[in-house]
Structure 1
Amino acid sequence: MAGIYVHIPFCKQACSYCDFFFITRKKLIDPFVDSLVKEIQSYRGTLYSDEKIETIYLGGGTPSQLSPDQLKRIFDALADSFSLNPVEVTMEMNPDDVTPDYLKSLLDLGINRASMGVQSFDEKLLQFMHRAHTKSEALKALESLQTAGFPTFTADLIYGNPGQTLEMLEEDISQLLQFDPPHISAYSLTVEPQTRLGKQVKLGRISPPEDEMVAEHFDLLDEKLNRAGIERYEVSNFSKPGKEAVHNSNYWKHENYLGLGPSAHSFWLLEEGGLRWENRSDIKEYMDDLSAESTINPEKLSMHSLAEERLMLGLRTKWGVGFEELKSRYSYELNREQRSWLDYQREKGMLKTEVDVLRFTSNGLKIADLLIVDLLSKS
C-alpha cells in the first residue's frame, strides 16, 4: 500500500507554535498549483507510478485555502499520473474556511476524511496560539461536517498550554465529544526555537507549564477519551476501533509514500534498503525549478537503520513490532543486551510480548520516546 502526501503551504497567518514551512501570500496559489501539477506529472511512467496509491493526504499549511477548482486540478493530475485506488483521502482544514457548500465540493472530489484544526475552544488560548478562528467558528465547522455527511473525520487538540488549567482542558474535551468524533489527534504543546512562541519563551515572557502539569493534562485526556470509546493507538492519536488513520499508520509501518510540494518528504523501500528525500522549503525555488536538483538531502538507508527506525515508529503504536517482521524484512535481531533490557522493562510493566509481537503498555507509551532511545542505545 503506497500513499501520496501533498503539501499545501498557504496559511492566513502564522500560529505561534508552528515550525512547518508555510507562506501567507495568497496571490501565489495559482502559480503554485501550476508547479504542483508539473511535479505530479513528472512522476508519470516512473518506478513510483507503478504501485497502486491507496491513501492521499493533503496537509500544510492550510489546504482549505485552495478553491474547489484549484483542488480539482490537483486531483485530475494525480489521477492522470498515478494508479489510484484510494481507501482514504484526507484533507486538513481550518474552521474559518469551512462552509457547507465547500465541504460538499470536497466530497465531490473524492475527499472522504476531514482533518479539522480545532486546537481549542477557549478564546484566550486561541488568541495565545494566534489561530485565525474563533470558538463559534470551530463549533459551526464541526456541525457542518456532520451535516455534509463526511464518512469520517478527525479533530486536533493541543494541551499543556501555559495558563491552561485541567478545567479548561476538560471543557475542550467535553465540547469536542459532543460531535462524536471518530478520531482525535492530541498534541502536547511543543516549544520550537524559531517560532513566535519559542522566541517569547527565550525572552522570558512566557513560561511553559511544568512536566508534571502536562502529565496531568494527558492523564485527563486519556481517561475522558477512553470513557467515550476513543482509544489511544499511537502516542498522539486516539480513535474508535476501526477508525485509525490509514495514511499516517502506513508511515509508521514503512509503507512507500511520495511527498509532493515544497518541503514534502518521500520514502521508498527498495530491495537493498530505503531511499528518503525531500523537496526544498522554498516556494520560489519550487516554482522555478522542478528538476532533480530541487530535491535535497537524499538519503540511502541500510536495512539495519530501517530496522531501528521501524522499532522506533512501531513501538509508538498499539500494534508494536513483530520479531519475525524485523528478521524477515530487515534481517535484524535484538542482541543479548537488548533482550535483557526487555526483560527488565517487562518486570516494570512498561512493555509486554504477545506471541511474536513487542508492545509498550499504557504506562510505557507515556514515556515511549525515552524507552525507545534507551533500547536503541544498546544495539
Structure 2
Amino acid sequence: MLADSPDLNIGNTAFMLVCSALVMLMTPGLAFFYGGLVTKKNVLTIMIESFASLCWTTILWFSVGYSMCFGPTWHGIVGDPTYFAFLNGVRLNTIYVGNDAGIPLALHFVYQMMFAIIAPALITGAFANRVNFAAYLLFLTAWLVFVYFPFVHMVWSPDGLFLKMGVLDFAGGIVVHTTAGFGALASVIFIGRRCDSTDAPHNVPLMALGAGLLWFGWFGFNAGSEIGVDWVTVSSFVNTQLGAAFAGFTWLVLEWASVRRPNFVGLLTGAVAGLAAITPAAAYVSFGAAAVIGVSAGLVCYYAVAVRKIAGWDDALDVWGVHGVGGALGAILLGVFAARSWNPHGAAGLLLGGTRFFLSQCIAVIASAAWAFAFTYTALWLIDRVTWIRVDAETEKLVPTFLRS
C-alpha cells in the first residue's frame, strides 16, 4: 500500500481535503444535535464526550488504528497494528494505492480518521448523563480497538473477510451505524434507566443546527467515500439528499398523523435516519431506489423507536432506532436494489437475481450487530470491575458527569 510518486491528482486531492473537513464537522454537529435533545443541565456533558473522541480517537488512529484497519491482514479480520504505526514509512509524496485517484496516503489516513472519530461518539447519545467520564474513555478505547477497527478491515480493506465475501458498504452503514447502534443498545441495557427520563428536548434550534451540520457534512461522508471525483461521486451525492429528504418527510407525516400536529424534532430525526440508511447504498443504487430507501428508513426507524419505548429501553437519543436500525436497513436494502448499471464495481441485488449478494449483506449485518452488542456489554461489565461506570443519582441529577473523576 506504500508507493512514492510525484504524480499528484490535484483535483481529487482538493476534493478529498474538503470532504475530510466536512466529515470532521459532523462530530461537532453531533454534539449540537445531541446537546439540543438532552436536558439543559446535561448539554456540556454530552458535548465533551463528542469532543473527547475528536482528540483521543485521533491519537489512537495515529498510533495503531489506521494500521489495524488498512495494514497487512491477519486472517482477513484485522490489520497488522505495527505496519502504519505512527505513519511509519509514510513520506510527503507517498501515494494511496487503494485506487487510482492519485491522492496522498496521508490524506486517506486523515479522511478515514474522521469516520473513526464519529463512530463511538454516536453511542454517547444512548447513555446521556449516566456514565463516569473516566469509564467512558476506557470504553471508547476498547470499542475502537475491538469493534470498529476490525470491522473497517473486514469490510473496507482489500484483504478483508467480508469484502472477499462480496459484501458492500459504501460509506459505513455496517461499519459505523450498525456497530454503533447495537453497541448503544447494549450500553442502554447494561447501564439502566435515567433518574429523569424526560424525552422533551430542551433546545430544538440547537438540535436543528446540529442536524443541519450533520446533513451538510454527510455529503463529504458519502460522496467522499468514492475517494475521488467521477460519475459515482455525483450519484452518491444526489442519493444522499434523496435518502435524507424522503425519510425526514415520511417521519413527519407519520408523527403528524399520530399526534395531529407537525413535529420539527421528528422531521430532523427522520432525516438523520435516512442519512444513516442511504450511507451503505449511496454509490450502488439508482435515484429511485434511494428514494425508496429513504421512505423505508422513515417508516422502519419510526416504528423501531416506538418498539424501544414499549420495551422500556432508555435509549436517551434513540441511537439504536435511528442509527442502528437505519444502518442495518440500508445495508440490507442495498442487497435488494444494487445494480451494476449504476456502478460497475458494485453488484446485482436481489431484484436482479443477486440472491448470494443479498444473503452476504444479511450475514454481515447480523454479524456486526451481534459482535457490537456482545462486546459492548462485556466491555462495560469489565470496566465496571475497574472503575464505576454509572454515576450516582445525586450526580446524575445535579452535576455534569465530566466534573466528577
Instruction: Report the TM range for the smaller structure's normalisation.
Output: under 0.3
Higher helix share: 2
Higher strand share: 1
- Taking CA–CA contacts closer than 8 Å with sequence separation of 6 or more, which of the two structures ends up with the larger relative contact order? 2
Output the TM-score relative to the length of structure 2.
0.27
Larger Rg: 1
